[in-house]
Amino acid sequence: MTNGWVLPEEVLRDAPTYTPRPHELADLELIMSGAYAPLTGFLHRADLTSLARRGRLADGTSWPVPVTLEVPPSVVDQLDISNPLRRVLVLADAEGAPVAAVDVTESWPTRDGMVGVGGRVRRIGDGGHGAFRRLRRHPAEIRELLPPGRVLGVFIDQPLHRPQLAQLAHAARTLAGHLLVLIPVGAPSADGLSAEALVRCVLAARDRMPPATIIAVPLAAHGDEIRDALLRARVAGAYGVTHLLATGASMLSGGGPRVLVPRELAYDSRDGQWRSRDDIPPRHRRLPLHPAEISDLLDRGAPLPEWHTPPAVARELIRSRPPRRQRGLVVFFTGLSGSGKSTIARGVTEALLESGERGVTLLDGDVVRRHLSAGLGFSARDRDANVRRIGWVAAEVARHGGLAVCCPIAPYDAARQAARDFARSTGAGFVLVWVATPLAECERRDRKGLYAKARAGQLTGMTGIDDPYETPGDADLVLDTSHLTPSEAIGLVLRHLGGNGWIEPRQPAATPAEV
Our CB check for ligand ADP shows the closer of 218 and 335 to be 335
CA-to-CA distance for 481 and 435, rounded, in angstroms?
7
CA-to-CA distance for 29 and 24, rounded, in angstroms?
9
**Residue 251: closest CA among 160, 184, 177, 155:** 155
What is the helix (H) or strand (E) element at residue 20, kind and residue range?
none
Phi-psi region of 478 (alpha: psi -120 to 50; beta: other; left: phi over 0): beta
Tell me: does residue 235 bind ligand ADP (CB under 6 A).
Answer: no
Which residue in the set 189, 250, 337, 349 belongs to the binding site for ligand ADP (CB under 6 A)?
337
Which residue in the set 102, 489, 493, 494 belongs to the binding site for ligand ADP (CB under 6 A)?
489
Nearest distance, CB of residue 486 and ligand ADP, angstroms: 4
Using DSSP, state whether 381 is helix, strand or coil: helix
**Residue 386: closest CA among 397, 371, 376, 398:** 376
Tell me: does residue 485 bind ligand ADP (CB under 6 A).
Answer: yes
Q: What angle do CA 83, 87, 88 make, to 5 degrees?
A: 140
Nearest distance, CB of residue 484 and ligand ADP, angstroms: 4
User: What is the C-alpha radius of gyration for the chain, rounded to an integer number of angstroms?
Assistant: 27
Tell me: does residue 407 bind ligand ADP (CB under 6 A).
Answer: yes
Tell me: does residue 170 bind ligand ADP (CB under 6 A).
Answer: no
Tell me: does residue 386 bind ligand ADP (CB under 6 A).
Answer: no
* AA identity, residue 453: K
Which phi and psi (to 5°) does residue 482 adopt? -65, -20
Tell me: does residue 444 bind ligand ADP (CB under 6 A).
Answer: no
Instruction: State how beta strands 265-268 and 69-71 pair.
Output: unpaired
Tally of CB atoms within 10 A around 89: 24
Which residue in the set 486, 504, 505, 507 belongs to the binding site for ligand ADP (CB under 6 A)?
486
Tell me: does residue 341 bind ligand ADP (CB under 6 A).
Answer: yes
Tally of CB atoms within 10 A around 493: 23
Q: What is the DSSP letter of 287?
A: P
Tell me: does residue 339 bind ligand ADP (CB under 6 A).
Answer: yes
Nearest distance, CB of residue 34 and ligand ADP, angstroms: 54
Tell me: does residue 390 bind ligand ADP (CB under 6 A).
Answer: no
Our CB check for ligand ADP shows the closer of 58 and 462 to be 462
How many residues lie near ligand ADP (CB under 6 A)? 17
Q: Residues 42-81: x/- map of binding to ligand ADP (CB under 6 A)?
A: ----------------------------------------
Residue nearest to ligand ADP according to CB distances in the complex: 340
Which residue in the set 342, 386, 426, 463 belongs to the binding site for ligand ADP (CB under 6 A)?
342
Q: What angle do CA 276, 278, 279 make, to 5 degrees?
A: 70
Our CB check for ligand ADP shows the closer of 175 and 407 to be 407
List all residues 6 or more positions away from 263 whose beta carbon is below 8 Å from its beta carbon: 167, 170, 276
Our CB check for ligand ADP shows the closer of 3 and 485 to be 485
Tell me: does residue 398 bind ligand ADP (CB under 6 A).
Answer: no
Which residue in the set 484, 495, 500, 501 belongs to the binding site for ligand ADP (CB under 6 A)?
484
Residues 445-464 that bind ligand ADP (CB under 6 A): 445, 447
Instruction: State how beta strands 265-268 and 273-276 pair.
Output: antiparallel
Our CB check for ligand ADP shows the closer of 25 and 492 to be 492
Summarize as ranges the residues that interact with ligand ADP (CB under 6 A): 335, 337-344, 407, 445, 447, 481, 484-486, 489
